[in-house]
Amino acid sequence: MAGVRRVSRRDVLRGMAVAGLGAPLARWVVAEERPAQAGARELEPVPVSSRPRYPAIRTSEGVVQPQRPLPVLEETDVLVVGGGAAGFAAAVAAARAGVRTTLIERYGYFGGLWTGGMVLLVMGTHAVVQGKLQKTLRGIGDELLARLSKLDGAIVNYGEDRANPTVDPEATKIVMDEMVSEAGVRVLFHSWATDVVMDGERPCGVVVDGKSGRHAILAKILVDATGDGDIFAAAGAEHEQRLHAIGLVHRLGNVDRADRERLKSAGFGNLGSITPHPSVTWVNLRGPSSNALDVRELTRLEIQHRRAIWERVQALRKQPGGEALFLLDIAPQLGVRISRTLVGMKQLTRTEARESRTFPDTIGVGGADAGRGPQWPIPYGVLVPKRLDGLLAAGRCVCVDEKLIESMRLIAACLVTGHAAGAAAALCVQDRCEPRHVDIGRLQGLLRQQGAYLG
């Protein structure tokens, strides 16, 4: 191993600048709205951005995309695609292991479904081990929760002997920003990975679309943390695809002023689950089983669910006891539970999980959904494509059987597989090997060094 690279202050500043976080350091925070001061550069004309034009062309055979050169935005060691729970942990783990790490995310914040989808309850943090409730989520995921516990109004129900805390989404985004920046990860928000760059049979980068146009990012190892397996699918890895309930979460305000008993007796029992704020709850609506890879379907559900939520809250407000309630917000991200899952070197089954089966290549441990149940070791093979090299999967799209999907997609498990995928990707770079050839002993050593729990 090339040794753990020390992160200098300059690295941190550079990381923050890339993440757009330089401003607070320079004491230039978003100011209150007031007329521009003399000398401000607001509305100052700048040269029009020039970029080569390669429009698609309509031909008699259909619409054709002409061959075009792509500018390479950067070359890195590990490229993590997707900044949800899994991608966040993967990027921090890889960067802390001392390799150049870039993280790209289609939206403008980290957390994915956890923050943007407002799925605020972190399930699977604990399990019953030898008769005692024990924390199974450790390492980078637990460090994030511990940091939240130091902030006012950021987390509730967090502790060694308390399973499944609930977070505030904005606090979580901010602490994720901090941890990613401190680790020296280079971040690109507002960047959709729309394809892969292949070197023969092996992916070696992604094509990214955004306001800056289309460009390529090249990397030695990719981590697909898109949740939907966008990258391994584009690279040709074998995978499965499923329909699942697609919902939309919203938050209610003034819940502490509602008469719950009266509302319940009128048939309005679901006022949601607790958050760190006594007056606010988050409400999880399930939705129909549908195809999360069909944008027309996603659009239809978004509009339909938003209308249903609005009408539901209006109905609540008309009930005696519900007058003070209001719709605080609707999650900016639709609640996609599952779409693609990888066909990996190993498929973990629910039977193995229920039996707490141990594996020589364990890279983390899943906890019990409701906190009371056995721990289940997670083998490395669930992250590694059966045939494709150059890539690891992390989060809700890793390789499990149908019956274990509901447990593997919980936030704690996504943090665990993300952490492991990032550490493994770093070792691939340092040892110049493919993910399937990673030295498991060294990987487990690195994970333990980074605080992970391996059972």
Q: Which is nearer to ligand FAD, 187 or 447 (CB)?
A: 187
Q: Among residues 316, 414, 416, 443, which is the contact residue for ligand FAD, using CB under 6 A?
A: 414
Shortest reach from residue 389's CB to ligand FAD, in Å = 21
**Does position 102 bind ligand FAD by CB under 6 A?**
no
Q: Which is nearer to ligand FAD, 107 or 376 (CB)?
A: 107
**Does position 255 bind ligand FAD by CB under 6 A?**
no
Q: Which is nearer to ligand FAD, 302 or 439 (CB)?
A: 302
Q: Which is nearer to ligand FAD, 321 or 342 (CB)?
A: 342
Stretch that binds ligand FAD, among 18-26, 95-103, 153-161, 410-418 (CB under 6 A): 410-418
Shortest reach from residue 115's CB to ligand FAD, in Å = 8
Q: Which is nearer to ligand FAD, 235 or 321 (CB)?
A: 235
Q: Do residues 325 and 258 make contact, with C-beta atoms less than 8 angstroms apart?
A: yes
The CA–CA distances, whole Å, from 430 to 1, 316, 337, 357 equal 6, 57, 34, 31
**Does position 219 bind ligand FAD by CB under 6 A?**
no
Q: Do residues 398 and 250 make contact, with C-beta atoms less than 8 angstroms apart?
A: no
Residues from 228 through 247 that contact ligand FAD (CB under 6 A)? 228, 230, 247
Shortest reach from residue 290's CB to ligand FAD, in Å = 12
Shortest reach from residue 263's CB to ligand FAD, in Å = 22
Q: Which is nearer to ligand FAD, 95 or 222 (CB)?
A: 222
- Taking Cα atoms as reference points, which of 260, 399, 396 lies closest to residue 316? 260
Q: Which is nearer to ligand FAD, 224 or 430 (CB)?
A: 224
Q: Among residues 92, 113, 316, 325, which is the contact residue for ligand FAD, using CB under 6 A?
A: 113
Shortest reach from residue 285's CB to ligand FAD, in Å = 8
**Does position 196 bind ligand FAD by CB under 6 A?**
no
Shortest reach from residue 243's CB to ligand FAD, in Å = 13
- Taking Cα atoms as reference points, which of 173, 60, 49 lies closest to residue 109? 173
Q: Do residues 417 and 395 make contact, with C-beta atoms less than 8 angstroms apart?
A: yes
| Residue 313 to residue 323: CA distance in whole angstroms | 10
Q: Which is nearer to ligand FAD, 18 or 86 (CB)?
A: 86
| Residue 214 to residue 207: CA distance in whole angstroms | 7
Site string (64-93) toward ligand FAD, x via CB under 6 A: -----------------xxxxxxx------
Q: Do residues 167 and 141 make contact, with C-beta atoms less than 8 angstroms apart?
A: no
Q: Which is nearer to ligand FAD, 147 or 173 (CB)?
A: 173
**Does position 335 bind ligand FAD by CB under 6 A?**
yes
Q: Do residues 119 and 203 make contact, with C-beta atoms less than 8 angstroms apart?
A: no
Q: Do residues 383 and 423 make contact, with C-beta atoms less than 8 angstroms apart?
A: no
The residues, ordered by sequence, that sit 6+ positions from 420 with a Cβ below 8 Å of its Cβ are 93, 363, 364, 378, 380, 383, 394, 443, 447, 452
Q: Which residue ranges make up the site for ligand FAD (CB under 6 A)?
A: 81-87, 104-107, 112-114, 117, 119, 121-124, 192-193, 225-228, 230, 247, 249, 284, 335-337, 395-396, 409-411, 414
